[in-house]
Structures are given as structure tokens and as C-alpha cells.
Amino acid sequence: MVHCSCLLFRKYGNFIDNLRLFTKGGTGGMGYPRLGGEGGKGGDVWVVAQNRMTLKQLKDRYPQKRFVAGVGANSKICALKGSKGKDCEIPVPVGISITDENGKIIGELNKEDDRILVAEGGLGGKFLTNFLPLKGQKRVIHLDLKLIADVGLVGFPNAGKSSLLSRVSHAKPAIADYAFTTLKPELGKIMYNDFKQISVADLPGLIEGAHMNKGMGHKFLKHIERTRQLLFVVDISGFQLSYHTQYRTAFETIILLTKELELYKEELQTKPALLAVNKMDLPDAQDKLHELMNQLQNPKDFLHLFGKNMIPERTVEFQHIIPISAVTGEGIEELKNCIRKSLDEQANQENDAYHKKQLLNLWISDKVSSSEPPSAKHAVTSSKVNII
């Protein structure tokens, strides 16, 4: 049983999920032609993962976003072999993907102290270079957070996502009657009484055509990719972006949201999803909820109401459907419990899958070694002895 009263949602302003940096390896040191001395190699630039680091902290600490390693020491009479220049380390959060200016992936940092070389220092001056040093490698890199939150809130504008966050938290997100109040992700944490923390991203509202980069478009959908689970938030009374656009019922809203995710990237539909049906304090909300539940239990019976281009290949199967009111607080505690339960179940499934994979690898390794010819085994053993 999950106890989660008195939760706190900590808000982090000006959230950043990508950065562009200039990096340059250090220049090598001068050689010493008369005595054949070799200059020191220039320092290297490394990107290093740290647990308590954010991209915003990195940007604030290094506003110039330039990282240059140290110069190698010149060769001299008292030290013919110059010392290496000082390495430069760029601290980044865990879960970073690094790409170059052309979009080519350099690598990923998935746990603390993982490190990747991004710009190599130049060689020191020596005989082959006429004792002249080489310059270090220059490289522009892009840092992208692969995972920004455990849960991402998905919904059309004015579905009540910001109101929901203000209800489950102490955050004060912008709330208004016009459509776009959230213009960039707000990242925070739900703090449980047993010290469990769940990160939540309040994402900008989707609109129809987002997969074609309308509205927040690809930027919004990129953020959804980087969450473990999705929490759909829909208005029980339906949605209409403006007087010039068509009114959509709650069921139509869910179908259209699903279609937008599918058109952008089908894999998004495989994420575990929950549904919060908001604004249950409105008149006739219970009747509309009963109708919506019937539609969700038998979606194929109602898809004829949509145009062919609006029907997703597969509908989302919600792990939990929770009617709530961000105004009165109805259903909020149950929603918090369901979020925790769903994430715990996903973590257990991922752990089971990991252990099964490890056991399979061990089994394959044992089969390969047991089927190896004796002569091959002997050859390997002999080579090891010779190397030692």
C-alpha cells in the first residue's frame, strides 16, 4: 500500500534539455631540436556524468560554453620529455546523448562517472613533426538529455495539466483560460513520505498536426520520447482550440492524441500510459464519464465516427483511468497512488528482463566454451602463458 499524503512538487525554472558546446583539445608543447626533446601532448576534453548535475547548472557555470584543454609543456634541457597538458572535464547529468555538429552520435553517458573523449589534444613537437607541435582537435558538440522525467503529462491545451500540477504540488504554474499557458517543459519531483521521488514533466499542449511540426510540434514530441510513462490529461467536457476549429469530445481527444503520437513515432504508443479525466466538478460530468468509459472499453464500435486519416493503427490501453478534479481535489490521491504503482511495476518488469538477458548470455557463453575443440582451448591457454 502506498502512503502519499503531503506530497511536494518541486519546480525547476528555465528547464534545459539540450546544449551546444565548443570544445578544443590543447596544443602540444614545442620540441627541442638540438637535443631531440619531445614536447608534451596537449590535454584532452572529456564529458563526464555526475549524478547531481543539470544542463542548466552547466550553462550557468560556464555561460561562454567554451571548453579548452591545457597546452602541453615545451621540451627543455632539464625535462626533455614535456609533460602533458591539463585535461578539461565537462560535468553533465547522467542520461546524456552526445552528438557532433552533423548529428552523428559520439556516445552516451548512462551512469555516474561514465566519460567520453570529445576533443583530443595535439601531439607535442618531435622529430617527425620537425619538433613543431600540433594543434588540438576542435569540435562542436550537442548534449541532449535522453530521459527528462519518469512521467510526462500529455494533453491538448487547456486540458488542466497546469491546474493538476498545482493541486498535487506547491508549484505555481501559469493557469489561464487561453490555450497555451505552458510554453516549455516544467520539470519537478513528487516527494513521497517514504522519501521516494518521482519526476514529472509538464509539457506544452499538443495540437492537431503536431507531427507535422505545427504548434510546438516536434519539440513537444521530442520531450514525450524522453519520459518513462505517459499521463494523458483530458477535459471530460471536450476540447476546442478556438472558434475556428472543430469541437472534440473527450473520446475524440484521446483518439487524436494517440494518432499524433503514432504519426511522429510509433514506439511512443508502447510506453505505459495512464489517463486522468479532468474537470469532474462540471455539470453532467458523471454522465459523460459513463459514456467515455463505454467508448474506451469498446473503441472499435465508435471508430466509424472518425475519418480514416484520424484513426490510429492501435489504441492506447491505459493501465489506470482516474476521474479527477484539479479544482476540488477529487481523485488526486488515487492518481498519485496509481502513478507510483505503475512506475514500480515497470521497474520490476525491466529488472526481470535484464536478469533473463544476463542468464541467456551466460548460457550462450557456456555453450560456446563447452563446444570449443580441445586444440583451440590449448592454443588459447598457450597464448596466455606466452603473453605472461
Write the Ramachandran bin of 283: left for phi over 0, alpha for psi from -120 to 50, otherwise beta: beta
110-125 pLDDT, tens digit each? 888 999 999 999 999 9
13-32 pLDDT, tens digit each? 456 778 999 999 999 999 99
Q: Which fold has domain 18-145?
A: Spo0b-associated Gtp-binding Protein; Chain: A, (2.70.210)
Beta bridge partners of 136: none
The superfamily CATH assigns to domain 149-345 is P-loop containing nucleotide triphosphate hydrolases (3.40.50.300)
C-alpha grid cell for residue 9? 512538487
CA neighbor of 268 nearest in space, from 311, 309, 314, 303: 314
- Give residue 386's pLDDT: 37
Would you report the helix, strand and coil content of the chain in percent, each value rounded to 5? Answer: 35, 25, 45
Low-confidence ranges of the chain (pLDDT < 70): 1-15, 159-162, 165-187, 203-221, 241-242, 369-388
- Rounded CA separation 237/233 (Å): 12
Burial class (CB in 10 A: 0-12, 13-18, 19+), 158: buried
In the chain, pLDDT over 70 holds for what percent of residues? 78
User: Would the CA dihedral through 363, 367, 370, 372 be positive or negative?
Assistant: negative
Domain boundaries, the chain: 18-145, 149-345
pTM score: 0.67
- Taking a C-beta distance cutoff of 8 angstroms, is the pair 319, 342 a contact? yes
